[in-house]
Amino acid sequence: MSTPASSRLRLGVSSMTDVPIRSITISDFRRLDGTRTLPLDAPIVLIHGSNGAGKTSLLSALELGLTGQIRSLERQDSRYIAHLPTLGRDFAVVRVEVDRSFTDNDDPAAPLTAGGSRIEGTPALTAEAANFYGERCYLDQASLGRLLELYQHREGKQESALAQFVNELLGLEQLDALRTGLSAANDLRSLKKLADRLDDATTRADYAGADLTETTRDLTDARVEVDRARAAAQAAARPLGIDPPEGLTDDAAAGLTDGNADERVIAAIRRVVADQNLDTERTLLLDLQRDLIALGGRLDGAADRPSTHDLKQAREQLNEAAQQLDLWDREVRPDIEAWQRKARAAGVALDTDPGAAVARTLNEVQHLLDSQGALRAEQHAIHSRLDSEQQHLDSLQERLLDAQEHATALVEGLASIRIALTSDVCPVCDRDYAELGTGQLGAHVDAKVTQLSQQGQNLLDLRQERDALWATITGTQRELGATTAALLEPTQVRELEERASELARLGDAWQLLRPAVETGRTMRMAETQARRRVEELEAASSEEQFARSELSRSANTLRRPLPDGDSVRAIWEVLSAEVRSRIDEIGKQAIAQRKAILAAEQMEQALRRQADAVSRVADAAQRRSEWETCVKEGRRRQAVARAVFDAATDVRADVVQRVFTQSLNSVWRSIFSRLAPNEGFIPSFGIPTSSKSGLELTLRTVHRGGREGGSPQMMLSAGNLNTAALSLFLALHLAVDPAIPCLVFDDPVQAMDEVHVNQFAALIRMLARQHERQVVIAVHERELFDYLALELSPAYDGDELLTIELGERSLDRDHGIIRHTWQHDVAISG
């Protein structure tokens, strides 16, 4: 009995819960436009649709939802994701519901979104189940004809997919993993790439050896440098009064080669330098030398100054000049100060030449008074011009108004008459204009209108002339305003005239005072010069006494008595020469000290470098020993790993030779013989061989009579070659425990004849009912679909068959989805 899926849901019939794949929801995926939800919860699902109806799109969407990728499309174009949405859509959405035992997702029907270059979302299956589905469960239509080629294809040193399947079948993964992990042990260079510590130990051992050689060379150089620095330090110590062989103990004097002797020489140099504080003494002598040089300059200056007799005469001249200046200040100075006060009150800025300042101020005031007359004349002229322009403007305005009124009224009247004219009879006076013999009345009126229009141009010219004159009047008014603003008030003019009179009087008064001012200036200069000369002479009289006091202080600083001699200059020369001599001696001692200190520091540095070189040589020797021990241990372990690798290789070869033909070839032969019982050549695996890159597999055919044939591609027809590929796919699926118990085929019977189809249907029944595999098959031929639906119909209680028809059938009420369940046949049982 067949029941539509939608009706089945309404009737409350329970669906299967022991199949891995339950349903799929597809939105805008390739050929499948819109959103569709299809149930898949049956042991066998048959999908039908004509070419282009979307069968492959449905199965591709199922693979995407289960595994997160579509392998057949990815092999053809790595950018296939951009083409998954239906044309005109930005993205496609796929949601597959699976049994919870096959997924890690919280939601067993989580959606995946594909579009552009990304796939967002989590696949429905676990990683292990997804990989098994892509390799062992789903056989797409495009891969069926190339399956043997795809299985044998390999890239670089990688094993082919078929070799990987066989390894899994034989249970050699761990053994191969052991061999792969130990393969690098056959070559030390390869082993170093994997064993970082071994490579690092070898490199470090080489570096340690090179470092030991280099540090040994550095130690030799350091010892030579110590000998050279020791000789330099001994030579620099002698000018300081240090004799190393005599100043050291007897055992050190025998040869200054031990460390303690070198340290004693360095300590002696530093002690002597510290005791001889040359910097303080040199600073004291330099200060004394500067004082003596300054004193010598003063002595040179005192030698050129006048004598004491000149001092008395200079004081008399100073008294006389001071009396004359005092008389001038009492008699003349008050008049000058009064004149200055009046000048400042008149606005004169006094400077070094008061007369010129008064004259300059008077000229400025007079110029301002003269400019007022010119401004008044200009104001009168502007008034006259403005009156004339205003009169002209009034005349133009009257002409403009008359012309405008006359022209407008006449033109409007004539225009009205012209409209009313129908003949030469005047509508105003009823007279026939034709009697005059000068033409028609309409032409005469038109001529008058034209003449008046020309008068309109004259009216426009009058307006332009009026506007230009108005602009001229506006400018004249602005000019009049500026001139009026520049004129002063009468009171201001009177004040200027009074100030000019005052300045003229001040100028005359200054001419009278000028001789007295010049006399006062001369007297003040004479008094200043006399006072300066008295001061110089007084300083010269006390210079000698000061010089003797300074020379006595300098002698005390030098810790010696004052030299004999009456001349101050002679005593100064003796002390200056002694200071120079002592400074030169201290300079020589300072140079010797610097050389000794530098030699001591260089010797210390050389001793430190020697000690450091000794330490580095010891460390380098220890490191080389340690790393060479590590390298030896690494080589020992390499030998052990090589032995284990060889043993694993031998065991693997034995397992492959013993198990290979007894397992996989038997299953493949059985399935192929069921599907193609009339084919004489049976495909099988050749004897596998091992290489460095893994297991080498070849495919061959064997005749039923036992004779070996060529490869399947050579010996089988195209149909049987597809059958061989399909049977190998099923053999590989059945050879191991399934990670997900399902098989999905995209039109696998397209090249089969009736016998093959019949055998294939029987095989599907066995897979679904005996091996408990959920089987999904898509076909495009209607007859094959109907035949398979009949052959795969439910055979016992609880068995189900789900048929899904795409294309126009999906528009029916049941959407082309029918669930076939087993029903008890009353007629047969009765």
What is each CA distance from 569 to 298, 305, 550, 556, in whole angstroms? Answer: 11, 16, 12, 18
Length in residues, the chain: 830
The residue among 4 and 606 whose pLDDT is bigger is 606
DSSP string, 576-611: HHHHHHHHHHHHHHHHHHHHHHHHHHHHHHHHHHHH
What is each CA distance from 7 to 16, 19, 813, in whole angstroms? Answer: 16, 21, 10
Query: Edge-to-edge strands of the sheet including 21-29?
Result: 32-39, 21-29, 92-98, 111-115, 118-120
The residue among 401 and 638 whose pLDDT is bigger is 401
pLDDT tens for each residue of 128-180: 999 999 988 999 888 887 777 777 767 666 666 666 666 666 666 677 777 67
Mean pLDDT of 183-208: 63
Computed over every residue of the chain, the mean pLDDT equals: 77
Q: Which residue has the tokens 């040089």?
A: 293
pLDDT of 470 over the 80 cut: yes
Strand 138-139 relative to strand 742-746, pairing? parallel
Mean pLDDT of 549-555: 73
- Who contacts 151 (Cβ-Cβ below 8 Å, separation ≥6)? 160, 161, 162, 165, 728
Task: Give the per-residue SS3 of 57-80.
Answer: HHHHHHHHHHHCCCHHHHHHCCCH
Q: Which residue has the tokens 């890239």?
A: 155
Residue 658 is predicted with a pLDDT of 61
Mean pLDDT of 52-79: 90
Angle subtended by helix axes 568-675 and 259-275, to nearest 10: 140
CA 592 to chain centroid: 61
Q: Quote the DSSP letter at residue 760.
A: H
pLDDT of 39 over the 90 cut: yes
Among 53-62, 610-619, 696-705, top mean pLDDT goes to 53-62
Q: Quote the DSSP letter at residue 51.
A: T
Which amino acid belongs to residue 765? R
- Who contacts 289 (Cβ-Cβ below 8 Å, separation ≥6)? 576, 579, 580, 583
Mean pLDDT of 217-241: 77
> Confidence class of residue 12 from pLDDT cuts 50, 70 and 90?
very low
**E strand or H helix at 137, and its extent?**
none
What is each CA distance from 225 to 212, 269, 596, 605, in whole angstroms? Answer: 20, 20, 17, 10
Mean pLDDT of 779-790: 91
pLDDT tens for each residue of 488-511: 777 777 767 777 777 777 777 777
pLDDT of 10 over the 50 cut: no
Mean pLDDT of 439-456: 70
> Within 10 Å of residue 747's Cβ, how many Cβ atoms?
21
> Confidence class of residue 45 from pLDDT cuts 50, 70 and 90?
very high
The residue among 379 and 700 whose pLDDT is bigger is 700
pLDDT of 246 over the 50 cut: no
Residue 745 is predicted with a pLDDT of 93
Ranges of H-type helices in 276-353: 278-303, 308-331, 333-345
**E strand or H helix at 816, and its extent?**
none
Q: Which CATH number fits domain 1-148+740-830: 3.40.250.10, 2.60.120.10, 1.10.10.10, 3.40.50.300?
A: 3.40.50.300
Check: CB of residue 615 under 8 Å from CB of residue 252.
no
**E strand or H helix at 437, and its extent?**
none
List residues bridging with 25 in a β-sheet.
37, 95
The residue among 591 and 548 whose pLDDT is bigger is 591
pLDDT tens for each residue of 310-334: 667 777 777 877 777 777 777 777 7
- Who contacts 157 (Cβ-Cβ below 8 Å, separation ≥6)? 692, 693, 694
Distance, CA of 742 to CA of 745 (rounded, Å)? 10
Residue 252 is predicted with a pLDDT of 38
Check: CB of residue 43 under 8 Å from CB of residue 768.
yes
pLDDT of 94 over the 70 cut: yes
Residue 9 is predicted with a pLDDT of 34
pLDDT tens for each residue of 98-141: 998 998 887 766 789 998 889 999 999 999 999 999 988 999 88
pLDDT tens for each residue of 354-375: 777 777 777 777 777 777 777 7
Q: Quote the DSSP letter at residue 698.
A: -
Mean pLDDT of 202-227: 77
Among the listed residues 414, 465, 421, the one whose alpha carbon sits nearest the alpha carbon of residue 440? 421
Q: Where are the domains of the chain?
A: 1-148+740-830, 309-558
Check: CB of residue 362 under 8 Å from CB of residue 499.
no
> Confidence class of residue 184 from pLDDT cuts 50, 70 and 90?
low
Look at 45-54, 233-242, 440-449, 686-695 and tell me which has the smallest mean pLDDT: 686-695
Distance, CA of 734 to CA of 730 (rounded, Å)? 6
pLDDT of 15 over the 60 cut: no
Query: Edge-to-edge strands of the sheet including 817-821?
Result: 2-4, 817-821, 800-805, 44-48, 774-779, 742-746, 138-139
pLDDT tens for each residue of 254-287: 344 455 777 777 777 777 777 666 667 777 777 7
